[in-house]
Amino acid sequence: MIEPRREIPVTHQADVVVIGAGEGGLGGCTAAVAAARRGASVLLIEERGYIGLHVPIALGVVIGIPGWKPAMQEGLFRDYAAYLSRTGQFASEPLTGDELTRRGEIIIRYHDVASTAMLAMLRDAGVKTLFQAKFVDAVVEGGHLKAVIIETGQGRTAVAGRVFVDSTGLGNVAFRAGAPMVREEPYMSLQAFLGKVDEPRYLKWAADQDKQPLDDSYKRWMQEQVGPFEKLKHPWNQWWPEYLTERFRPAVVRKVREAQGKGELTLLHRRGDEGILAIVEGIKARGDIAMPRTYITGIDPTNADDISWAEVTSRFALLEFQRFLKKSVPGFENCVLERVSDTISLRGGRYIQIERQVTPEEIDGGARNSDCIFVFQRTNGRPAFEVP
């Protein structure tokens, strides 16, 4: 089919146009705030009806970790923490701004508070938001991006700008503009929150049952299901062995094998030759909630059929896991499927190709760059890497 040629109106324009306030994470929102505070007119375009931050939509839990950079005590991160503490209770217990700063990390329990806090930060900086507007194409003239095309309930329109920030998560704007792209493993997941969990009861039961370690038959059983550990690709070659040690309590593993043998619990799901989906990172019980999630590798995040499989299979897998816990694990007798992420979470997948790819060894070694756009540091033991 050939789409007919047509003229479309330019309905908005700004110095800086940011596309995406969801899968792209905090980056697009903070870029919008920074530009607006320096006097630029800024328009933030988002296809949903709210700020996602990759936290509410994906039910992310941790924003900021002590010893990592960016640190919560500096820059826009510090400002966001202040907005968050003023907006309302976002954690399991109330925290003042000073208490939050001293703690040095943000652990989210009530995700909509985190979203509204960023919305307030954008509003106060003077950023104009355009919701329910889906990016569909880019207008390039003379090698320069001049406008983006969006679709709303009124049809197609154009948004013109001087500078464009792609915060779509998959580089959709850059791709449509013709930039060379690189595809990598996206390491996807879908998060769930289970409510009405009795963590003390669960921990007491697990401690009593864990006195007897797992015997070698569990490793043989696991490898019959997933394959020899040494032949698995990353991260499965790490996580399946850890499933039997640190990811799940031995008491839970015994219940898992029993349920799997009865056909009540599916250990992993496959799609084609490479696609794998499983709940391998543990129960993650904390207070009155548990936070299991699926982990998915080997599928194409730009392929709608693949993503649809991941979305649907994840939701049924999480429901099955909740039912298993409710039936088999003390402390979960009353648990409910409180919330599931709005969408699959991506950790990568497609990037703009640059002149030379930065290696993991370079990041671990640290570097300073005069044109730094982001400071990356994980743990105090590693030097900071200034991303050029």
Which residues on neighbouring strands pair with residue 37, listed in sequence order? none
Q: Backbone phi, then psi, for 248, in 5-degree steps?
A: -125, 145
pLDDT the model gives residue 54: 63
pLDDT the model gives residue 73: 80
pLDDT tens column, 306-342 = 999 999 999 999 999 999 999 999 999 999 999 999 8
> What is the chain's length?
388
Contact at 8 Å (CB) between 124 and 36? no
Query: What is the rounded distance in angstroms from the CA atom of residue 187 to the CA atom of residue 177?
Result: 25
pLDDT the model gives residue 288: 94
First to last CA, the chain: 42
Query: What is the rounded distance in angstroms from the CA atom of residue 380 to the CA atom of residue 382?
Result: 6
Q: How is domain 10-179 classified at the CATH fold level?
A: FAD/NAD(P)-binding domain (3.50.50)
Ranges under pLDDT 70 in the chain: 53-61, 380
pLDDT the model gives residue 246: 92
Contact at 8 Å (CB) between 249 and 240? no
Residue 98 burial by Cβ neighbours in a 10 Å radius (0-12, 13-18, 19+):
exposed
Mean pLDDT, all residues of the chain: 92
What ranges do the domains of the chain cover? 10-179, 188-340, 354-387
Residue type, 298: G
Query: What is the rounded distance in angstroms from the CA atom of residue 280 to the CA atom of residue 232?
Result: 14
Among residues 191, 188, 189, the alpha carbon closest in space to that of 338 is found at: 191
The pTM (predicted TM-score) of the whole model is 0.91
